[in-house]
A and B are shown apart, each in its own frame.
Chain A
Amino acid sequence: MSLHKPTPPADAQPLYKKREPIYPKLVSGNFRTFKFAFMGLALLVYYGLPWLRWDRGPNAPDQAVLFDFAGGRFYFGPIEIWPQEVYYITGILILASLGLFLVTSLFGRVWCGYACPQTVWTDLYIAVERFFEGDRNKRIKLNRAPWSINKLWRKVAKHAVWLIIAAATGGALVFYFHDAPSLVFSFFTGHADATAYVFVALLTFTTYSLAGTMREQVCTYLCPWPRIQAALTDEHALNVTYRWDRGEPRGPHKKSESWEGRGDCVDCNACVTACPMGIDIRNGAQLECIHCALCIDACDDIMRKVDRPTGLIAYDTDNNVERRAAGLPALKFKLFRPRVIIYAVLIAAISALMVFGLATRSTFELNVLKDRAPAFVQLSDGRIQNGYTVKLVNKQADTRAIHFEVSGIDDAEVLLVGEEDGVMDVEVEGEHVDRFRLIIKIPEENVDGNDRLRIVAIDTETGEQDVNLIPFSSPRRD
């Protein structure tokens, strides 16, 4: 009997795939134009949003979008979210992911192709690279050339501009967390908070490495979205597709030759050289493909040159390609499929819920906290006394006049510490949480250890009120 010797199979691939450098060639066409336009828009929004002002009165920041961690507030235009309402942020995140699902089921991975920050900044970085080092062929040549003054200054300039963009990216992010104009000043005079510098450094590093040096590896190896995408897509999904029914058999084509009996693909590799992910779209739908449609532009350009109809690579469904290959007519793309409707309904429902919540939310809140040590004391006259810390939250900008009412147990003597006997009115500043002490004394015979007080705070002007039901402790009597 002989044991099997564990030997790797002859055609085994190494576990580590060496990275192949990618030099995407600049193409021109509708998608390239749209991609540049969208990149401009995305960058404009990202860099510009913190500078948008929104008047909220004298005591509140006038930045339209501000995540004020120090002050414990999130501002989105007219909406102001307090820490205890952080579920609205959750709602926004849920809406964002549903929105991503919806757009994906409508038009495929347009997020990856146009809107994802990784795509936007990589595209920007490639544009910078192209500016200093030229287009694909020049870049390949430059990289293979020995070091020279020419190569050195181009490389140094490219990395310098990359770093500046990276620092500006990190810089723009911190403006979302502090008042932008004052932070700009304090940042460059060295007086800003240490966290600002740390985050700028961090974002500079990530932007530079993700968009400059890692690029397509982020999408292929780091990002979960291409994997999730597999669960959202099917043969009816709209993808950037090579129409092999029309393209095959492929091969070089001379101008004088006939197109009879062969496909339209002239195997010119234009789609491959244009691809920022370094893949061949003619191999079908792939995890790496970010569906940026630059290969469509590249191929259309060639098709026009060889005088064939454009659209050999186009947004299409796998199903239609199969149908045409089988001689059947292609189906019109259906926008309203069940999944689209489900996502749309979910988005509408959650949005409605949030709008309802925001529209009806109270800007006034009462929180009564009962003293627990001691839970109660017996006074010298035998009455039972409980102490309560009362917090009044005033989320509106103006001062409110509040009146307290305490009920639920007979003969309760109520003292508001700091006020005259019997005075139950206080004022709460705008945008403020104020703390008060309520001392309540009740004859022993009126309580049995299972009592509850009803404490009401009423805005004397608007009539808004909030109610807390809170226990009144006393010695338990069985």
Chain B
Amino acid sequence: MSDHEKEIDEATGVETTGHEWDGIRELNNPLPRWWLYIFYASIAWAFVYWILMPAWPALPGMGTNTPGIRNHSDRDLVAASVQELRDARAETGQALINASLDEILSDQSLRQFAMAAGESAFGDNCATCHGAGGQGFPGYPTLADDVWLWGGSLDEIQHTITYGVRQDNLETRFSMMPAFGRDQILSSEEIRAVAHYVRTLSGLEEASEESHHGQEIFEFQCVSCHTEAGTGDQLQGAPDLTDRDWLYGSDLETVINTVYNARNSAMPAWGERLDEATIKALAVYVYSLSGGETNS
């Protein structure tokens, strides 16, 4: 392009760039001045920004990015916002701590606050396993029904949330069903027989010769926790086998699997992660999903 001579377009009197496509030549109009000035200002601002804000990534010999003299950190801003939220909730949070769970439930404004705070905490922490609204999934109890492994009163719910299930603390909900098959306590035939019997308890199948055989084994191996009638024991987290609620499923194969391997699922102790007010709010929220358990 060095040999390019200045060419002036006749119609407009503007210099061309010398580029030509199919006879169409490009005019070399200057950039609008306002645009150019903003462009220059942006370049100048880039230098200012480099100095003020974190800008350059880690350069060789430098462990981290350039921090900038304003010491800006998004992480700190988030932490400050979270703290702000905590402070804003402090007053009502304190009211939740001071009141008993029954008082929270019967006081309209405390209950509404607890349910709103509980709903949001539930979504953040609990819904991953229990589902939004406590709908539950196989292995993760439904919280919207009337079946409570460890008790469904306000205090029992608070205890379960605080200390978790099968966790490493003294207050935790704890019981251990033997893995009857894996640990070779029962033979496969015996386990199948027990499974048939368990299914007769809630009327899923008719009594049979095999189930009678299963009943004998059941009375020997299972009644200490599940009771003779099969109605379970909340103190040990032993499910009621006579109702229509099945945590892992009610078909024969699933029941055999449960007896063979045992389930013994766990839940974190949320007392280690959440503050007392949040846990109380969660207890009230979980209670409100189903109306809880009144006659425990």
Contacts and interface: CB of A to CB of B under 8 A. Distances in A.
17 contacts: A7-B11, A371-B133, A371-B289, A373-B135, A374-B134, A377-B290, A378-B145, A379-B146, A417-B105, A417-B291, A418-B288, A426-B108, A427-B108, A434-B108, A435-B115, A437-B288, A437-B289
Given A373-B131, A439-B290, A387 B144 contact: yes
A374 B144 contact: yes
A402 to B, nearest CB: 12
Which secondary structure dominates chain A's binding surface? loop
Given A380-B147, A434-B108, A434-B112, A417 B133 contact: no
A374 B136 contact: yes
A357 interface: no
A426 B107 CA distance: 11
A380 B244 contact: yes
B27 to A, nearest CB: 13
Interface of A: 5-8, 371-374, 377-382, 385, 387, 415, 417-419, 421, 426-427, 434-435, 437, 439
B145 A417 contact: no
Contacts of A373: 131-133, 135
Interface in B102-145: 105-106, 108, 111-112, 115-116, 131-136, 142, 144-145
Q: Report the 5 A-B pairs with minimum CB-CB distance, sorted nearest first.
A: A380-B243, A374-B135, A377-B145, A439-B291, A373-B133
Interface residues of B, number: 31
Given A5-B11, A418-B111, A377 B144 contact: yes
Contacts of B116: 435
A377 B142 contact: yes
A417 B288 contact: yes
Nearest to B145: A377
B245 interface: yes
B66 to A, nearest CB: 29
A417 B285 CA distance: 10
A387 B289 contact: yes
B144 A380 contact: no
A377 B289 CA distance: 11
B147 A437 contact: no
B131 A435 contact: no
A378 B147 CA distance: 10
Which of A372, A380, A415 is the most central at the interface, judged by chain B CB atoms within 10 Å of its CB?
A: A380
Nearest to A440: B291
B10 A435 contact: no
Given A8-B11, A387-B290, 8 more contacts: A372-B133, A378-B145, A378-B245, A379-B147, A380-B240, A382-B244, A415-B291, A437-B288
